[in-house]
Structure 1
Amino acid sequence: MNCVKQQLEVIGMQLDSNIFPCIKDGGIVVPSTQCNTPHFMLGEIDKHEQQRQRRPSTESWQGNSGGQGATSRSRPASNTTQIICSDIKQKYLSEMEAVKVAYPRTQVWTEDNGIWLLTNSALLEGSNLSATLLVCLPNDLTKLPKAWAFWNGLIWIGERHTNFPDGSICAFEPGDETWLMGQSLIKLLDLYTLWACRHYYLKEFGRWPGYQVAHNAYERFSEFKDDEFCGCNNFDKKYKDCCKPKDSVAKHLEGVSNFSWVIGLGKRTPPVRVLDFMYLGKPLPKIMSLY
């Protein structure tokens, strides 16, 4: 096993033990034992993560800063009134100098309705596989950021733990307050980086590392591996020892109809205009057209 894969294996083992890695400049993920001056240790500064350690496994909670269940992150259209805040756009712009230190390859575009970022996460030192992140930050405080990730800028990273139907990154549960509108953009990019690193582990070892959330039986049954943590409230149990037996029973797959409705009877995939920008160099889509 080469050094890159060994380091990835250690990160996965730590995530399985609910020990979060560090993110260094350039979007390099390292095991917690190798931390010097990271941006922060993911999970350790989150008060909800600390509270979750004290909660009984039967209590209903909404996850942690690891990859979360896709259906719980879907954002169907609503009649919510837009709350436009020019201050948040200026706040994000004021962070760009620091963002470009933490993620040196960051490019920035502004428009009336928000900001676009394109950046790169190296993921692991010595690896030839990196994640290119395309992030939109709307001015509307009722709309969360959206982001898409691509291996080396070429191949979309999905479908596990992406939102329906647009394939955007699902790196945390909004209700868990892991990241809130107006908080650090570096922290947001670090969460996306950790999500991509989990996908790297999935690619190499065939399973999702660490705790995860999925509220729908069909989603768990169709995507989760036996040795992954279950996505229900018993978050610390393996799927095969928890929900898989009941998920596999036909009556528990009645969620298929609801699941199909949520995803619009289609596969998760990035919007055509996002792919046109990434692959063909066409103009970025208008931010509000993606909501």
Structure 2
Amino acid sequence: MEVLLSSDARTELQRIGGGLDARQPVRVKDRGIVILDPQPTLTTVQEKNHEQRQSARGPAAQSRQRSTRRQGSSDRSRTPRAQSRVVGLAGNYARQLEIVQGAYPGATLLPDEHGVWLLARSQVLAGLAREAIFLIALPYTPAVEPRGWAFWEGYGQVEWIGPRHTNFTDGSVCAYHPTLDNAWSPGGDLRTLLDLYSVWALRHLHLAVFDRWPGRQHAMPDAAGRSDPYYRLLQFKEAELCSCGSHRRYGECCRPHDLKLPFRLIQQEFERRNGGCNILDRAAPAEITASISSGGRNTPPPILEVHDFLRAHIAAKAGKNGGKPVK
């Protein structure tokens, strides 16, 4: 899908990309519009300093999205994460819907046997002639993270957003690291989750327009837990920031080292660790794409059919329960 941007919107997108490269905090306004934070709060400055301390410990401790903040009415309270343990995730998410709709008009929750689907639209960038659509599976199991997909809709077309920074092999959004970033956890503020997705979509927009992913990024780990060189060679562009934590461009940082490695060998190692999947073997499930393309006429598929971690969790619990079905 061709990206049509006004001169002002293109300039703003480039400015935000430069800010992300410089680790400048961003804010997400209502309707999912991402802007550079004009006046970083004390909290964001503190967290930026925290990220710098974490960077000194190594890339595994870094956070990609922690400086993302919401800009909106001051009377909007966030839902405590601990609340889910008291009243359950179902009630937690249902009570948030009205507040979520204030930030993302038209957002809705679609019930499912094993959780709920969150469907929302984001404008992403002021002046953008298309929108991002997010369809996010929220299991009612606190131990299982959400699984969501993103699409561009505009000019009478619907297009999956990927494959950069999506999960293998279902092409779901990878907007934050569930353990390293501490950005969101089940039972958290749904607006914050949508904000993270909006910033991720803006990065994809920047990639489409300027051929470069802005800001820091993670790479899939190799067998030793370090950034996988095969993944970087195929996914990272030379002008993008390296994943090692140096805050240098990949082309002048780890790429020369990665190029010296036996390419076929590191490819085989990567595919062996990922069940034989090639690095480009990522796409949204057909049922998800059909649901979005139908404009809401087709309901989303059962969450259990498209959320492999939820299936594995339920199977593991059933095994501990003597094979009895467990929801």
Q: TM-score, normalised by structure 2?
A: 0.75
One-letter code of the match for 2:54?
R
> Do residues 255 (structure 1) and 269 (structure 2) align?
no
Q: Which runs of 5+ in 1 are unaligned?
A: 68-83
- In the other structure, the counterpart of 1:178 is 183
CA distance in 2 between counterparts of 1:112 and 1:54 reads 43
Shift of 1:252: 6.3
Q: Taking CA–CA contacts closer than 8 Å with sequence separation of 6 or more, which of the two structures ends up with the larger relative contact order?
A: 1
Partner of 1:277: 291
2:229 to 206, 212, 217: 217
Contact conserved, 2:55 with 2:245, CA < 8 A, in 1? no
Shift, 1:121, TM fit = 0.5
Q: 1:189 aligned to 2:194?
A: yes
Of 304, 308, 313 in structure 2, the residue corresponding to residue 288 of structure 1 is 304
**One-letter code of the match for 1:285?**
P
- Contact 2:54–2:61 under 8 Å retained in 1: no
State the one-letter code of the partner of 2:191. I
2:175 is the counterpart of 1:161:
no
Aligned to 1:25, which of 26, 30, 35? 30
Q: Distance in 1 between matches of 2:105 and 2:61?
A: 33
Distance 1:173 1:187 in 2: 14
Corresponding residue for 1:232? 244
1:4 partnered with 2:9: yes
The 1:130/1:223 distance shift into structure 2, 3 A limit, reads same
Provide the secondary structure at the position in 2 that maps to 1:115. Answer: strand
Unaligned runs of 5+ in 2: 1-5, 67-84, 220-226, 309-327
Aligned CA distance change for structure 1 residues 87 and 58 (closer, same or farther; 3 Å): closer
Report the count of equivalent residues: 267
Map Cα deviations across residues 221-269 of structure 1 (whole Å, 9 max, x no partner). 01111111001243x1110111101111233663322322416425100
Partner of 1:242: 253
In the alignment, structure 1 residue 265 sits paired with structure 2 residue 266: no
Q: Which amino acid aligns with 1:218?
A: Y
Aligned-pair distance for 1:50? 4.2
Report the 3-state secondary structure (helix = DSSP H, G, I; strand = E; otherwise coil) of the residue aligned with 1:110: strand
Whole-Å separation in 1 of the counterparts to 2:104 and 2:45:
21
Q: Do the aligned partners of residues 137 and 46 (structure 1) sit closer, same or farther apart at CA in structure 2, a change above 3 Å counting?
A: farther
Moved more, 216-225 or 250-259: 250-259
Letter in 2 for 1:192: Y
Aligned-partner Cα distance in 1 for 2:129–2:104? 17
Q: Matched residue of 1:118: which SS?
A: strand
Q: Which residue of 1 aligns with 2:110?
A: 109
The TM-score normalised by the length of structure 1 is 0.84
Q: Distance in 1 between matches of 2:46 and 2:160?
A: 29
The residue aligned with 2:51 is 52
Q: Percent identity?
A: 33
2:242/2:248 contact within 8 Å kept: yes
Q: 8 Å contact 2:54–2:62 — kept in the other structure?
A: no
CA contact (8 A) 2:113 2:302 kept: no
In the alignment, which residue of structure 2 is the partner of 1:15?
20
Pairwise CA distance, 1:279: 2.0
**Does the 8 A contact of 1:27 with 1:121 survive in 2?**
yes
Q: Radius of gyration: which is bigger?
A: 2
SS in 2 for 1:159: coil
